[in-house]
Amino acid sequence: MTPLSRPSMSANDKAIATHAANRAIALQRLEETEARIAELKQQIAAAEFDVGRAAELIASGKFEIPQAPDVSGSRAEISRLESAAAALRLGLEKIEAAIAERDRELDSEFLGRIKEIQASSVSAQFDAMLTLAELAREDIALKNDAPGHLAAHVATVHSTFWRVVGFAPTGVRSTAREYLEELAKEYGARCGYQLTSKQAARIAALAI
């Protein structure tokens, strides 16, 4: 049986791979946009009119004060880029939400697969225990069929198993049938397991 790996389910999921690729592109674009905004702001700051320098020129008799460069285009570009950055951030939030939703779907799928595997395993366990119980029944029948003075010479093998785990006639439970019925209920509560009709019939046929 190939072991399940929840992380590998995410790693191999096409939807998550697509979201992850989109996230990487969006992050790169956001980084580039924010860098460009910072660059433009630095250019605007450098081009601002220096009142102090202009005052010094006037005081020295120089009245030809240089005009500050027109930065309206840069300001317009910053406004456009800031809107783009906001859209990228919102898009990243939506991508993260989509990844989280897909992860929840994979969690549910993973648990479903675990339950299927557990059901198969429990079914195999019941088949094995039923076989042991049936062999024990035959084992006890052989001893019971022996005449009284020979019964002591007939060794019981399979029935010993049931006494060891504590549900032979001298144990906590009176019969193997009772034990298996209780175990079926416990597994049903734990993982939703249900006996097959064949297993239920085999349990019902037990007389030990």
Output the DSSP codes for 92-137: HHHHHHHHHHHHHHHHHHHHHHHHHHHHHHHHHHHHHHHHHHHHHH
Confidence of residue 33 (pLDDT cuts 50, 70, 90): very high
Radius of gyration from C-alpha coordinates of the chain: 40
Burial, 147: exposed, middle or buried (Cβ in 10 Å; 0-12, 13-18, 19+)?
A: exposed
Residues 69-98 have pLDDT tens digits of 788 899 999 999 999 999 999 999 999 999
> Residue 144: is its pLDDT beyond 50?
yes
Percentage of the chain beyond pLDDT 70 is 85
Query: How high is the pLDDT of residue 93?
Result: 97
Q: For residue 71, how many C-alpha atoms fall within 13 Å in the half-sphere facing its CB?
A: 17
Residue 30 pLDDT: 97
Q: Please state, in angstroms and rounded to a whole number, the distance separating the CA atoms of residues 45 and 165.
A: 85
Residues 162 and 139: beta-carbon distance below 8 Å: no
Does position 170 have pLDDT exceeding 50, yes or no?
no
pLDDT at 8: 86
| Residue 78, pLDDT score | 96
Q: How confident is the model at residue 16 (pLDDT cuts 50, 70, 90)?
A: very high
Q: Angle at which helices 158-165 and 176-191 pack, to 10 degrees?
A: 60
Q: Does 40 have pLDDT greater than 70?
A: yes
**Cα–Cα distance list, 18 to 21, 25, 27, 55, 98 (Å):** 5, 11, 14, 60, 11
